[in-house]
Amino acid sequence: MPENDVISRAKAKQKTREALSTEAGEFVREEIQLIRRGVPGARSRKRAFAIGMSRACRHISSILLAVALFSPVVFSGCAVRASYRVYDPGHADYHAWDGNEVVYYQRWEVETHRDHQEFKKRHSDEQKEYWNWRHNHHDDQH
């Protein structure tokens, strides 16, 4: 199918990091070749240019859409490093759950002989036990 040939040539230009205009040029070139072969469609070079640019715009916009959808995943960073707030209902305060809090949580698991489990998945009673333990350990400001 000629459409696939054009797209593959445009992708090849994209891989060589040529300008978007050279990628678009592949679509225009294809339309002009169709005129030369006598295939019904555009009747003039101007119209062939317009059709080719329209097809190129659709192709390039789909690439840009994919980049826009994929970029948050790339730039968000590692989810392990993310910090979020956790509410402690027993003491009616919030704690920043970050790398420091994880260290204390792991220490609590070892000291209380518990298997490792993500804090969010622990039963609320165990979470309360952790916060009581945490408030009694004033080694770090929380």
Residue-level pLDDT, tens digit, the chain, 142 residues:
456 676 676 667 666 655 556 667 777 777 777 777 777 666 677 777 777 777 777 777 777 777 777 777 666 655 555 688 888 888 888 888 888 888 999 999 999 999 999 988 999 899 999 999 988 886 655 4
- Domain, as residue range, for 66: 2-75
| Domain-ending residue, one of 22, 48, 75 | 75
One domain, residues 65 and 91: no
Query: Do 61 and 95 fall into the same domain?
Result: no
Q: Is residue 114 included in any domain, yes or no? A: yes
CA separation for the pair 46, 43 (Å, rounded): 8
Q: Is residue 141 part of a domain?
A: no
User: Does residue 20 form part of some domain?
Assistant: yes
Contact 134, 112 (CB under 8 A): no
- 38 within some domain: yes
Q: Which two tokens stand for residue 100?
A: 């420091």
67, 9: one domain? yes
Q: What's the number of domains the chain is made of?
A: 2
pTM score, whole prediction: 0.42
Residues 13 and 62 in one domain: yes
Asked if residue 16 is part of any domain, the answer here is yes
For residue 86, the cross-strand partners are: 95
CA pair distance 50, 33, nearest whole angstrom: 14
> Do the Cβ atoms of 42 and 31 come closer than 8 Å?
yes
In a domain, 142, yes or no: no
